[in-house]
A = this chain, B = another copy of it.
Amino acid sequence: MEKLFRDHIEKIVAITDDEFKYIMSHFSLMNFKKRDFLIREGEPVKYVFWVVSGLLKLDYQDASGRQHVVAFAMEDWWEGDYHAFFNQSFATMSLQALENTQVLSMTLHDYNALCRNFPKMTYFFLEKANRGHISSQQRILELISTNAKERYDKLLQRYPILFQRVPHTLIASYLGVTRETLSRLTAQ
């Protein structure tokens, strides 16, 4: 696990063994069983997570009680309710394990300490934040300009593995269509 995380960091900044040890002291390893919640809507958000192994879904319940999948997160991805995390407020979304999942978790206190004391990690987080911002911008583009079939094709092309690991009802929710519409798209 440590090697995976170090590789993940070193894709952006080179670090020494001691620096890696120092970085790791800001994280905790946590294990969740399938269906466990890492974040529950309405509760305080203490952590952001980096997925060591397993699969998570981030979802949002609208005023009428309908669930919408906002994102999936697999190995090597960061996930969290960033609004609630950075504002130390209550979750507006839920983060749930779809498989037994192991994560590294970090509190805002540790995030700030790491940024304050170690500019390399500030730069690392800046890169991650910029990429996160970019992929959100791309998702917005897709939501406003493509239809469900186009979104389905793109998701399949980008993350074929998702279609083997995630129930199709959840993929339909992520694409903003019903399970029946997804079946029609899959059959084509």
Contacts and interface: CB of A to CB of B under 8 A. Distances in A.
A144 B176 CA distance: 6
Given A125-B126, A126-B115, A133-B133, A145 B82 contact: no
Nearest to A122: B122
A140 interface: yes
* Tally of this chain's copies: 2
A144 B141 CA distance: 13
Interface in A55-113: 60, 62, 66, 68, 70, 82-83, 86, 92-93
Residue of A125, A140, A146 ringed by the most chain B CB atoms within 10 A:
A140
Contacts of A133: 82, 129, 132-133, 136
A132 B133 CA distance: 6
Contacts of A138: 83
Contacts of A144: 60, 68, 70, 143, 176
A119 interface: yes
Interface string A112-131: 00010001001101100111
A137 interface: yes
Interface of A: 60, 62, 66, 68, 70, 82-83, 86, 92-93, 115, 119, 122-123, 125-126, 129-134, 136-141, 143-146, 176
23 contacts: A60-B141, A60-B144, A62-B145, A66-B145, A68-B141, A70-B137, A70-B140, A83-B134, A83-B137, A86-B130, A115-B126, A122-B123, A122-B126, A125-B126, A129-B130, A132-B133, A133-B133, A136-B137, A136-B140, A140-B140, A140-B143, A143-B143, A143-B144
Given A82-B134, A125-B126, A136-B139, 4 more contacts: A68-B144, A82-B137, A122-B123, A136-B136
